[in-house]
C-alpha cells in the first residue's frame, strides 16, 4: 500500500540509519527503504554487512561484527519510531511536490527525502569473492590492515587507491605485493614514487589475479602474466582489492546533480542537493573518507538539515 511520509530515507547503511535515528527522535517518523537482501550492492545495512570484525567504530573497545553493528543501528532507529520497507528504490520523481519514490509498482510520497544509498567497491568478479570477503579478502585497508600484522599480503590495482592502501598496509604487513595488470601506474606521480621507494612494497607488473583460493579463509591467489600468459600461484594471508568504487546512484541519473563519477553533489558543509527537500549523506556523496563513522556523521547532518528545512516550509 502506498503511503505519504514526512521523510523517506533511501538506504540503510550507517548514514541512512543514523539519519533515521535522528529523524525519528525529531518526531518525523522516517520511512526507510532499506534495500534488497539478495543484492551485494544495495543490501540492507550497507557495506558493513560484508565485513566481519569492526574495530574502529568508537564505543566498541572489543570490536563488533559488522552485521551486528548494523542491527543495533536499526534497532535504535526502530525504537524511536522509524519504519522499514525491504526493497529497492527503482525510480524517483522529484520534479514536483510531493516527492515520489517508486519501489517496483508501489509509489511512496514524501515531503522530504534523504538519499543514503552508499557505494560499492569494484570487485574482480571472481567466484570466491563473496565467500572470502572479511576472511582474508578486504576492500578497506584502514578497516582491516591491523589484522595482518607481520603477514605477507597483496593489493590489486594501479591507481591512487591501490598505492595508498599498499603504503598504509606496510605499517602492519611484513611485505606487500602490489599487483597491477599493466606495466605502468594510473596513479599520480607522487604516489607512484611513494610506492616504488617503499622497501616493503614489491611490484608485480602485467599481472592479473585469476582465482582466489580458500574455503573459509583466504590461502592463496592464482596469477596470470597479461603479456606472456604464464600462470603462477602466491600464498597470501590477505588480499586487498583497490580497483575503484562506484556509488549507487543509477536511479538518480538525470534527476540529481552528480559528478562524472556518479557521486552526488551536495552544497559545501551540508547535505543539501540541488533539489529542494532532497538531501544526501554517506558514501553516495563521499569518495574521500568512506568510513562508517563519517557516514554516520553525515547521516546525522542530513536529518538535522531535513528537520530544519521542513520547519521552514510551514
Ligand atoms: P582508479 O584511478 O580508477 O584506478 C583503478 C585501478 O584499478 C587502475 O589502475 C585500473 O587498471 C585497475 N583496475 C580496474 N579494474 C580492474 C580489474 N578488473 N582488474 C584489475 N585491475 C583493475 O581508482 P582509484 O585508485 O580508486 O582512484 C579513484 C579516484 O580517487 C582517482 O581520481 C584518484 O586519483 C582518487 N584518489 C586519490 C587519492 C589521493 O590523492 N590520496 C587516494 C585515492 C584515490 P588500469 O590502470 O589498467 O585501468
Q: Could you read off the pLDDT of 135-158 as tens digits, one per residue?
A: 999 998 988 999 999 999 999 999
135 and 184 housed in the same domain: yes
Whether residues 173 and 85 share a domain: the answer is: no
Domain at 226, CATH number: 3.50.50.60
Confidence of residue 196 (pLDDT cuts 50, 70, 90): very high
Give the number of other CB atoms < 10 A from CB of residue 226: 15
The structural domain count of the chain equals 2
Domain match, 31 and 98 both: yes
pLDDT range class, residue 22, cuts 50, 70, 90? very high
Ligand 1, atom 7, lies closest to the CA of: 243
- Record the pTM: 0.82
Q: 154 and 98 in one domain? A: no
Answer yes or no: are the C-beta atoms of 2 and 107 closer than 8 Å. yes
Active site residues: 140, 143-144
Tell me the per-residue pLDDT of 160-192, one tens digit each, with 9 for 90 and over. Answer: 989 989 999 999 999 999 999 999 999 999 999
At 87 the three-state DSSP class reads strand
My answer on whether 183 and 269 are in the same domain is no
Domain stop point among 241, 270, 285: 241
Q: Which of 141-145, 243-247, 289-293, 304-308 has the lowest mean pLDDT?
A: 141-145
Of residues 35, 176, 57, 47, the one with CA closest to residue 120: 47
- Other beta carbons within 10 angstroms of residue 294's beta carbon come to 17
Nearest Cα residue to 64 out of 54, 49, 50: 54
Q: 116 and 18 in one domain?
A: yes
Ligand 1 centroid from CA 191, angstroms: 12
Whole-number mean pLDDT of the chain?
95
Task: Give the residue from 185, 213, 241 where a domain finishes.
Answer: 241
Q: Is 45 in the pocket of ligand 1 (CB under 6 A)?
A: no
Claim to verify: residue 112 and residue 249 sit in the same structural domain: yes
Rounded average pLDDT over 197-215 = 97
Q: Are residues 96 and 196 in the same domain?
A: no
Q: Is the CB of 262 under 6 A from ligand 1?
A: no
3-state SS class at 290: coil
Query: Listing from the earlier edge strand, what are the strands of the sheet with 137-138?
Result: 137-138, 238-241, 152-156, 175-179, 201-204
Q: In the prediction, which pLDDT does 127 show?
A: 92
Distance CA 244, CA 267 (A): 24
Which pLDDT score is estimated for 41?
65
Give me the pLDDT at residue 143, please.
85
pLDDT for 67-86, tens place per residue? 999 999 999 999 999 999 99
Domain co-membership, 19 together with 51: yes
Q: What is the rounded CA–CA span in Å between residue 86 and residue 140?
A: 27
Ligand 1 atom closest to Cα of 245?
A: 26
- How is residue 310 annotated by DSSP? H
pLDDT at 80: 98
Specify whether 115 is located in the same domain as 9: yes
Atom 18 in ligand 1: which residue has the minimum CA distance?
Answer: 124
Residue nearest to atom 26 of ligand 1 (CA): 244
pLDDT single digits (tens) 233-270:
999 999 999 999 999 999 999 999 999 999 999 999 99
Note whether 116 and 209 are same-domain residues.
Answer: no
Single out the residue in 225, 241, 257 at which a domain terminates.
241
Buried b (16+ CB within 10 A) or exposed e, 76-91: bbbebebebbebbbee
With pLDDT > 70 as the criterion, what percentage of the chain qualifies?
A: 98
Pair 212, 256 in one domain: no
Mutation choice for ligand 1 from 157, 195, 261, 283, CB with most ligand atoms inside 8 A: 157
pLDDT over 70 at 1, yes or no: no
Instruction: Please name the residue whose Cα sits nearest to atom 11 of ligand 1.
Output: 158
- For ligand 1, what atom is nearest to the CA of residue 243? 7
Range of the domain at 306: 4-121+245-313
pLDDT at 48: 86
* Residue 78 confidence (pLDDT): 98
Residue from 125, 126, 160, 169 to probe ligand 1 pocket by mutation (most atoms less than 8 Å from CB): 160
Q: How many other CB atoms are found less than 10 A from the CB of residue 123?
A: 15
**Distance separating alpha carbons of residues 309 and 24, to the nearest angstrom:** 16
Dist CA 205 CA 226 (whole Å)? 9
Amino acid at each position: 500500500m502506498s503511503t505519504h511520509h514526512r521523510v523517506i530515507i533511501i538506504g540503510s547503511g550507517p548514514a541512512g540509519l543514523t539519519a533515521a535515528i535522528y529523524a525519528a527522535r525529531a518526531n518525523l517518523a522516517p520511512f526507510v527503504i532499506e534495500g534488497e537482501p539478495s543484492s551485494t550492492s544495495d543490501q540492507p545495512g550497507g557495506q558493513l554487512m560484508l565485513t566481519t570484525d569492526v574495530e574502529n567504530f568508537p564505543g566498541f573497545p572489543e570490536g563488533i561484527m559488522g552485521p551486528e553493528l548494523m542491527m543495533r543501528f536499526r534497532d535504535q532507529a526502530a525504537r524511536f519510531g522509524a519504519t522499514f520497507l525491504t526493497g529497492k528504490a527503482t525510480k524517483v520523481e522529484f520534479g514536483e511536490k510531493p516527492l515520489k519514490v517508486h519501489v517496483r509498482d508501489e509509489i511512496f510520497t514524501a515531503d522530504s527525502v534523504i538519499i543514503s544509498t552508499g557505494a560499492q567497491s569494484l570487485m574482480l568478479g571472481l567466484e570466491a569473492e563473496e565467500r572470502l570477503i572479511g576472511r582474508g579478502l578486504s576492500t578497506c585497508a584502514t578497516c582491516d590492515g591491523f589484522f595482518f600484522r607481520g603477514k605477507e599480503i597483496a593489493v590489486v590495482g594501479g591507481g591512487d587507491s591501490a598505492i595508498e592502501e599498499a603504503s598504509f598496509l606496510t605499517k602492519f604487513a611484513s611485505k606487500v605485493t602490489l599487483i597491477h595488470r599493466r606495466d605502468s601506474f594510473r596513479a599520480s606521480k607522487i604516489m607512484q614514487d611513494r610506492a616504488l621507494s617503499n622497501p616493503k612494497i614489491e611490484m608485480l607488473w602485467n599481472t592479473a589475479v585469476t582465482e582466489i583460493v580458500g574455503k573459509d579463509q583466504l590461502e592463496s591467489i592464482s596469477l596470470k602474466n597479461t603479456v606472456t600468459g604464464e600462470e603462477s600461484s602466491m600464498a597470501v594471508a590477505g588480499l586487498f582489492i583497490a580497483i575503484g568504487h562506484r556509488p549507487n546512484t543509477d536511479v538518480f541519473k538525470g534527476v540529481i546533480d552528480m559528478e562524472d563519477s556518479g557521486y552526488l553533489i551536495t552544497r559545501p558543509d551540508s547535505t543539501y542537493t540541488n533539489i529542494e527537500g532532497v538531501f544526501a549523506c554517506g558514501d553516495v556523496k563521499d569518495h574521500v573518507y568512506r568510513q562508517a563513522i563519517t557516514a554516520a556523521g553525515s547521516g546525522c547532518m542530513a536529518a538535522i538539515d531535513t528537520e530544519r528545512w521542513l520547519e521552514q516550509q510551514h
